[in-house]
Amino acid sequence: MATEFINVETADGICAITHTRPPANFLSIASMKEFISTIEAAEADAAVKVITIHGGGGKFFSAGVDVSDHTEELAQEMVDTFDKLLHCLMYGSKPKIAVVRGMALGGGCELIAFCDMVYATENATFGQPEINVGVFPAPAASIFPRLVGIKKSLELILTGDIISAREAKEIGLVNHVCAPEAIDDAVGKLTHNLCAKSAVVLQLTRKAILAAKDLDLASALSVTADIYANELMQTEDAAIGISAFLKQEKPVWKNK
């Protein structure tokens, strides 16, 4: 399936979403709305367990939000639409993997920061250069301290420096760095691993981690225990998995 800016391929439990808007895959209001609709459709599709996010071409994953939408008339709609896109990435129910080839700058870097995991090629680069044009990246200011710590966040956002994939991995912004010719196989192994698991258990595990991440330890323990006892243990797949383990059998998930 394809729209003006988004191409979608769904197979074997994986929904691959590719945003293509040459020359640099800038995120316009229109393309972000298509992005949101596509993610929402994948979230609603029971056949989809994992969502992967790609940039079309090879030089850019995305160079960020389209500057032409930074006008007095469009600025609020642009901000609201981008916030909704980031919310879909983080607070939807299914795991999302960003696959980065080339540059992920500005809003493109923020987009990958809101995904569950990031796989990048060795030649990928990351950065928040907004300070150089007299603004600051509000989503990065919110998410970076949670991912890379306050000092590194201040360094990256205040300087606008562009960093390599290797450095992005070292600071915790990227999970894995691969040779360009190896990234598809690496992502394939990850998605195959995830798709072998129960969809509902993946979703509830993810829900527990996100619910606990900003809480003090005592509150986090309480919240995750509640999800475990009152949601996870009410699923058919939890019973199937425990029974299969005790019988030393391979579980056959019902995904519910």
Examine the residue annotation and report whether 34 is marked as an active-site residue of this protein.
Answer: no
Integer angstrom CA distances of residue 217 from 80, 144, 180, 208: 32, 21, 40, 13
**β-bridge mates for residue 8, sequence order:** 17
Q: Which residue in 96, 24, 14, 87 sits closest to 56, CA to CA?
A: 24
Give the burial string for 91-117 (b: 16+ CB within 10 Å, else e). Answer: ebebbbbbbbbbbbbbbbbbbbbbbbb
Question: Among 9, 72, 130, 155, which one carries the catalytic annotation?
Answer: 130
Question: Among 9, 77, 110, 231, which one carries the catalytic annotation?
Answer: 110
Cis check for the bond before 23: say yes or no (omega within 30 of 0). yes
Q: How far apart are CA 130 and CA 138, in angstroms?
A: 10
Examine the residue annotation and report whether 110 is marked as an active-site residue of this protein.
Answer: yes
Helix (H, G, I), strand (E, B) or coil at 13: coil
**Which residues are the active-site residues?**
110, 130
